[in-house]
Amino acid sequence: MTPSRSNTGRDAKRDDAATPTTAPILLEHEREVLEALRALQFGTLEITVHQSRIVQITRSEKVRF
């Protein structure tokens, strides 16, 4: 009986490369949160939630000289 090969090392990388990755499907409000976060360099991002739903996104950014 031959030992089974596990996907470790070089073989694992090859298997991962062969599998196409798909971006997760985001809802509109999730996309808005990510866009606000990516556009922020220094500051805060406040997300207001009511009854498990995002109702407001507030972005405050500080500019220092």
Higher local confidence (pLDDT), 55 or 16: 55
Residue 50, strand partner residues: 53
Residue 44 lies in a domain: yes
End-to-end CA distance of the chain: 70
Model's pTM, two decimal places?
Answer: 0.54
- What percent of the chain is helix, strand and coil (3-state, nearest 5)? 30, 25, 40
Mean pLDDT, all residues of the chain: 78
Count of domains for the chain? 1
38 vs 5 pLDDT, higher one:
38
Q: 39 or 3: whose pLDDT is higher? A: 39
Domain annotation covers residue 7:
no
Helix and strand numbers, DSSP H then E, in the chain: 2, 2
Cα gap 10→45, rounded to integer Å = 41
Give domain status of residue 10, yes or no. Answer: no
Position 50 in a domain? yes
Supply the range of the domain harboring residue 38: 25-65
Q: Is the pLDDT of residue 8 over 70?
A: no
Does the residue 37 lie in any domain?
yes
